[in-house]
Amino acid sequence: MKELYKLLEKLFPTKEIHIEVLDKGISNQNYLVHVEHSTYVMRVPFPDQGHVFSRLHEAEINDCVRDLDVPCIYFDPKTGIKLTNYIPDLAEYEECTDENKIERAALLVKALHQKPAPDFDFDPIATLKTYQKMLQTPIYDLTDYQYIVDKVKNIKHTKVLCHNDLVSGNLLFGNDRDYLIDYEYAAANDALFDVMSFLSENNITDPTLRQRFYDVYFDEMNEDIMHSLSIWENFHNLLWCTWAMMLYEKRHESIYKEIAKMKYDALVASHT
């Protein structure tokens, strides 16, 4: 905490500063920072994230998503520490009570995908293999589901700028506008990976809700797209189950064990 105060004192010299811990985020510790009459949110990555991304790439993405992201005050590509404006009365996807929130989410994802793709990729298969190498003692045996990797290799990819981590907390909804935040994983990837990232990470299984998302996002839906989405859904469960087991092994925090079980159960259910 002392190091954070030192940083903030450099950014806001001669001003009174107070830091408050926020109980949000799995991969990062977040703080509410009060500087006299202004308030900010500070993201501080955990040192043992086990993630596969480049902070320099994140810095590049931050520059091109200013119209979607909460205004950024400070970003350090060495540490990953990020300071943004605090905007009151925002609700993440899960908390949002608007009956049209799924359409609003589809518009955010579509807006991101319409931006130019960067010259660096998020490789889902390589990411899975990295997590598998880091995992020493799996809770669940995923051997029977490795065939999904070959299925993914056969998908015809349309690469766009993808977020690659569309969990509830990264979509924020307000009265005046909506935001897409935290671009740690953002890179070029198959657009359908992102679509299924949103649906699977937010446990949207209702066919009617999924169709409402599709109606806004896709100009045209067909059987090939539906088939690819199904493959990506299985892959997401395989990928994030492996990731969660790896982090549970490192940190021994129950949240990762719960995520691993949820993803494993989804894999089993899709194969019965």
**Distant-in-sequence, close-in-space partners of 196: CB < 8 Å, separation ≥ 6:** 229, 232, 233, 236
Q: What is the mean pLDDT of residues 74-100?
A: 96
In this prediction, residue 53 has a pLDDT band, given cuts at 50, 70 and 90, of confident
Residue 48's pLDDT is what? 59
Q: What is the mean pLDDT of residues 148-158?
A: 93
Of the candidates 58, 94, 86, 59, the one whose C-alpha atom is nearest the C-alpha of residue 70 is: 86
User: Looking at the predicted structure, is the pLDDT value of residue 192 above 70?
Assistant: yes
Ramachandran region, residue 253 (left: φ > 0; alpha: ψ -120 to 50; beta: rest): beta
Q: What is the mean pLDDT of residues 138-165?
A: 95
**Distant-in-sequence, close-in-space partners of 43: CB < 8 Å, separation ≥ 6:** 25, 28, 29, 30, 80, 81, 82, 83, 84, 182
In this prediction, residue 188 has a pLDDT band, given cuts at 50, 70 and 90, of very high
Domain boundaries along the sequence of the chain: 2-270
Q: What is the mean pLDDT of residues 69-98?
A: 96
User: Looking at the predicted structure, is the pLDDT value of residue 24 above 80?
Assistant: no
Lowest mean pLDDT across 2-16, 111-125, 160-174, 255-269: 2-16
- Report the alpha-carbon distance of residue 202 to residue 27 in Å, rounded: 17
Architecture per CATH, 2-270: Alpha-Beta Complex (3.90)
Q: What is the mean pLDDT of residues 192-203?
A: 97
Mean of per-residue pLDDT scores for the chain: 94
Residue 51's pLDDT is what? 59
Residue 27 CA from chain centroid, whole number? 10
Share of the chain above pLDDT 90, in %: 90
Residue 177's pLDDT is what? 96
Neighbours of 33 (CB within 10 A): 24
Predicted TM-score of the model (pTM) = 0.92
The residue whose two tokens read 């298969």 is 125
User: Looking at the predicted structure, is the pLDDT value of residue 39 above 80?
Assistant: yes
Q: What is the mean pLDDT of residues 8-14?
A: 93
Residue 49's pLDDT is what? 54
In this prediction, residue 160 has a pLDDT band, given cuts at 50, 70 and 90, of very high
Q: Which pair of tokens denotes residue 198?
A: 């949103």
Residue 47's pLDDT is what? 74
Q: Where are the alpha helices (DSSP H) in the chain?
A: 2-11, 55-64, 101-113, 124-134, 147-153, 191-201, 207-217, 223-251, 254-270
User: Looking at the predicted structure, is the pLDDT value of residue 97 above 80?
Assistant: yes
User: Looking at the predicted structure, is the pLDDT value of residue 155 above 80?
Assistant: yes
